[in-house]
Amino acid sequence: MTALSLNNVAITGATGFIGRHLVEALVVAGYRPLVISRAWARPEPLAALGDRVRWAQADLIDNDALRSVLEREPPTVVFHLAGTLGRGEATRAVIECVEGNLFPSVRMLEAAMRLGVTRLILIGSAEEYGDYSGPFHEDLRLRPLSPYGVSKAAATQFALAMHARTACPVVIVRPFTAYGPAQPKAMFVAEAVDCAIKNVPFRMSQGNQRRDLVYVTDVVRGLLAAATTPGIEGRVINLGSGHAYRLRDVAERIWDLTGTSAPLLVGARHASADQLYDTWADIGAARVLIGWEPTIGLDDGLRATIAWAREQRLAPEGPAKADATQGPAETGRYA
């Protein structure tokens, strides 16, 4: 079967961590993606891409605005990466996640059917699984613990129901803990690297919880493979390293690689109950369905992240912050 074309791609969440890397990869490959953002202004580094990126303003909560953009420039492939992490007071977090994750996903699925898109990539999350011991495979019954995980699981279930009912051409991709250059500093690897290169103390939990860390360019390769591989509609695909790393060990490795003399304050930060479970991806389906597996090992990924962070310290001004409601930094949080 012939690979699907990426000549007419639309992306939501392009101002987020993974989204920015996806846009840059498409541009490097010679494509001119349509970025749908609630912001009028283009943040760096997207602004530096100039007319190699098409830009459309629409708040995904506004169904009419979204419909207008998509009908004006109907895409053949859509990457729906936008969402909100919804961290905070429980009731408010639930409302934010339903409004920012579930409802826009439903609208995008309905738009995909109406416009006849060839493939819709819906980004999921490792948080959909909950606290299984791992490795997590795609057939596990979902039992999310956080409002974010609940909303992403609901979006997945709705997408699969639409595929079963109407043959909606959706593929759900679940990246595990993505890290790499330009990751928001509130996330574990980015914060630890920032503290290490600035030679300041890093406060963390006991760090016994494990995370499946996957480098961002590997995630992007997986997204592109999921978008172009024919015959996989209605499937859920994990993207991870296939390994689970103790956070304490990751922090110590960052300390070794940077040579910092700053204190590593293990146990100085409290981790909430929904941060203490492990994540660990079974990536067998990715290998079989889309021919994907990670190529960047943890040490190489950490070295690249450290090198990028050091370059940013020397630059007169760092990149603009991501629009959190248009693209979550990544799919897992931890302390």
At 321, the pLDDT band (50, 70, 90 cuts) reads: very low
DSSP codes, 220-259: HHHHHHHHH-TT-TT-EEEES-S--EEHHHHHHHHHHHHT
CATH number of the domain bearing residue 145: 3.40.50.720
Kindly report, residue by residue over 218-254, the tens digit of the pLDDT.
999 999 999 999 999 999 999 999 999 999 999 999 9
Domain encompassing residue 96: 9-178+214-241+281-295
Q: Roughly how many angstroms between the first and final C-alpha of the chain, as a whole number?
A: 45
Percent of the chain with pLDDT over 70: 91
- Looking at the domain assignment, is residue 118 inside a domain? yes
Q: In what helix (H) or strand (E) does residue 55 lie, and over which residues does it extend?
A: strand 54-57
> HSE on the CB side for 242, CA within 13 Å?
12
Confidence band (pLDDT; 50, 70, 90) for 328? Answer: very low
Helix, strand, coil abundance in the chain, percent, nearest 5: 40, 15, 45
Q: What is the pTM of this model?
A: 0.91
Residue 49 resides in a domain: yes
Query: Is 14 part of a structural domain of the chain?
Result: yes
Residue 271 lies in a domain: no
Residue 70: inside a domain, yes or no? Answer: yes
130-151 pLDDT per residue, tens:
989 889 999 999 999 889 999 9
Angstrom distance (rounded) from CA 24 to CA 13: 13
Instruction: Decide if 200 is inside a domain.
Output: no
For residue 190, being part of any structural domain is answered with no
Q: How many domains does the chain have?
A: 1
Residue 21 in any domain: the answer is yes
